Amino acid sequence: MYEGQTAIQIAGQVLIAFLFLATGILNSAFKVRQHLDRMIAVGVPFARAALYFGFAMQLAGGAMLLFDWRTDIACPILIVFTVVATAIFHQYWRVEDPIRRHMHFSFIFSNLAIVGGLLAVM
């Protein structure tokens, strides 16, 4: 596990894994209805199945990353998850309140950095 990686690289990988695992656990335990309603509102087909598939991608990819197992598969899973979730949940152009719009726009940039981190791990 973590062969040939420096302590800094391991810390970065663990922190990225923690992000996906912690949010996956919290969202799947406490925010299912909220996420499902938002997905239906923006017209995601088969929203319930897509939501649970997203949770599975988030948790499986996060665990694989944490245990440094098949990161060549885990990173693309998490990249796809991040890009699709960003497209669904951060549609800033639909938000009228300027502060909330700015927050969604900022989340897009944060998620781009997460994708960058996953590419670096890969």
Q: Does residue 115 belong to any structural domain of this protein?
A: yes
User: In this structure, are residues 28 and 54 in contact, taking their beta carbons and an 8 Å threshold?
Assistant: no
**Residue whose token pair is 């810390």:** 11
Q: Does residue 77 belong to any structural domain of this protein?
A: yes
Q: Does residue 83 belong to any structural domain of this protein?
A: yes
pTM for the model stands at 0.95
- Angle in degrees, 0-180, between the axes of helices 7-30 and 71-89, rounded to the nearest 10: 50
Mean pLDDT to the nearest integer, 29-35: 98
**Residue whose token pair is 């948790």:** 59
Q: Give the residue numbers spanning the domain of 64.
A: 7-121
Q: Does residue 1 belong to any structural domain of this protein?
A: no
Q: Does residue 72 belong to any structural domain of this protein?
A: yes
Q: Does residue 24 belong to any structural domain of this protein?
A: yes
Q: Please state the separation of Cα 87 from the chain's center in Å.
A: 11
Burial zone of 75 (CB within 10 Å; 0-12 exposed, 13-18 middle, 19+ buried): buried
Q: Going by C-beta distance under 8 Å and a sequence separation of 6 or more, which residues neighbour residue 36?
A: 47, 48, 51
**What is the tally of structural domains in the chain?**
1
Per-residue pLDDT tens over the stretch 41-77: 999 999 999 999 999 999 999 999 999 999 999 999 9
Q: Does residue 12 belong to any structural domain of this protein?
A: yes
Q: Does residue 2 belong to any structural domain of this protein?
A: no
